[in-house]
Amino acid sequence: MRMRLEIVWPNIQKRHHDQQTNTGSQLPTKQAQSTLPQYPAHTQEVGITLQRGGVCPIMEKGVTLDRALELALHSPLSKRTETLLLELGRGRILSKPLSSKVDDPRFDNSAMDGFAVMASDCVNPGAELTIVGTSQTGGHLPPRIIAGEACRIMTGAPLPEGADAIVMVEDTEVDGDKVTINGPARTGYIRKRAENLSIGQEALPAGTHLSSASIALAGTMGHGVVEVIKKPRIAILSTGDELVQPGTEIEPGQIYESNSHALASLVESMGCEAVRHESANDSMDELRTTLDSLSDCDAILTSGGVSMGEWDLVRKIMEEEGDISFWRMKLRPGGPPMFGTWKGIPLFGLPGNPVSSLVVFHVLVAPWIAKSLGYHPEMGPRLTQKVSVKLEENVSGAPEKLCLRRIRIRSEDGQLLATTHTHQGSGNMHSMVAHNGLTLLPPDTDGEAGEVIDALWIL
Ligand code: AMP
Ligand code: MG
Q: Residue 261: phi, psi to the nearest 5?
A: -70, -45
- Separation between Cα atoms, residue 255 and residue 251, nearest integer Å: 8
Question: CB within 8 A of 14, min separation 6: which ones?
Answer: none
Confidence of residue 316 (pLDDT cuts 50, 70, 90): very high
C-alpha of residue 276 to centroid of ligand 1, in Å: 16
Confidence of residue 139 (pLDDT cuts 50, 70, 90): confident
Taking a C-beta distance cutoff of 8 angstroms, is the pair 149, 161 a contact?
Answer: no
From 237, 243, 432, mutation site for ligand 1 pocket: most ligand atoms within 8 A of C-beta: 243
Residue 447 is predicted with a pLDDT of: 98
Locate the ligand 1 atom nearest the alpha carbon of residue 306 and give its number.
2
C-alpha of residue 58 to centroid of ligand 2, in Å: 25
Cβ of 57 closer than 6 Å to ligand 1, yes or no, is no
Between helices 284-292 and 313-321, what is the axis angle to 10°? 60
Between helices 366-373 and 65-72, what is the axis angle to 10°? 40
Taking a C-beta distance cutoff of 8 angstroms, is the pair 359, 429 a contact?
Answer: no
Cβ of 240 closer than 6 Å to ligand 1, yes or no, is yes
Cβ of 367 closer than 6 Å to ligand 1, yes or no, is no
Cβ of 337 closer than 6 Å to ligand 1, yes or no, is no
Mean pLDDT of the chain: 90
pLDDT, one tens digit per residue, over 231-253 is 999 999 999 999 999 999 999 99
Give the pLDDT mean for 353-359.
98
Residue 46 is predicted with a pLDDT of: 52
Question: CB within 8 A of 312, min separation 6: which ones?
Answer: 304, 305, 306
Q: How far is CA 140 from the centre of its chain?
A: 47
Cis amide linkage into residue 105, ω under 30° from 0: yes
Residue 5 is predicted with a pLDDT of: 53
C-alpha of residue 420 to centroid of ligand 2, in Å: 28
pLDDT greater than 80 at residue 4: no
Cβ of 302 closer than 6 Å to ligand 1, yes or no, is no
Cβ of 349 closer than 6 Å to ligand 1, yes or no, is no
Taking a C-beta distance cutoff of 8 angstroms, is the pair 257, 244 a contact?
Answer: yes
Question: CB within 8 A of 300, min separation 6: which ones?
Answer: 234, 235, 236, 237, 291, 294, 342, 345, 346, 347, 348
- Separation between Cα atoms, residue 224 and residue 159, nearest integer Å: 28
Taking a C-beta distance cutoff of 8 angstroms, is the pair 214, 208 a contact?
Answer: yes
Assign 109 to helix, strand or coil. Answer: strand
C-alpha of residue 133 to centroid of ligand 2, in Å: 79
Report the largest interatomic distance among the alpha carbons of the chain, rounded to a whole angstrom. Answer: 101
Locate the ligand 1 atom nearest the alpha carbon of residue 257 and give its number.
20
DSSP string, 177-242: TEEEE-S--BGGGEEPTTSSB-TT-EEE-TT-B--HHHHHHHHHTT-SEEEEEPPPEEEEEEE-TT
Residue 1 is predicted with a pLDDT of: 76
Global pTM value: 0.87
Confidence of residue 2 (pLDDT cuts 50, 70, 90): confident
Indicate the pairing of strand 384-391 with strand 415-419.
parallel
At 368, which helix (H) or strand (E)? helix 366-373
Give the pLDDT mean for 304-314.
94
Give every strand in the sheet of 58-63, ordered side by side. Answer: 46-48, 58-63, 323-329, 338-342, 345-350, 299-303, 233-239, 273-280
pLDDT, one tens digit per residue, over 379-427 is 999 999 999 999 999 999 999 999 999 999 999 999 999 999 989 999 9
Cβ of 242 closer than 6 Å to ligand 1, yes or no, is yes
Confidence of residue 131 (pLDDT cuts 50, 70, 90): very high
C-alpha of residue 352 to centroid of ligand 1, in Å: 4
Through-space distance between the first and last CA atoms of the chain, rounded to whole angstroms: 26
Residue 58 is predicted with a pLDDT of: 81
Locate the ligand 1 atom nearest the alpha carbon of residue 351 and give its number.
2
pLDDT, one tens digit per residue, over 41-59 is 333 445 444 444 434 468 9
Cβ of 268 closer than 6 Å to ligand 1, yes or no, is no
Cβ of 182 closer than 6 Å to ligand 1, yes or no, is no
Give the pLDDT mean for 90-109.
98
Rg (the chain; Cα; Å): 31
pLDDT, one tens digit per residue, over 20-41 is 333 333 333 323 333 333 333 3
Cβ of 238 closer than 6 Å to ligand 1, yes or no, is yes
Cβ of 258 closer than 6 Å to ligand 1, yes or no, is yes
Of 406, 364, 356, which is closest to residue 383 (Cα–Cα)?
A: 364
Taking a C-beta distance cutoff of 8 angstroms, is the pair 336, 223 a contact?
Answer: no
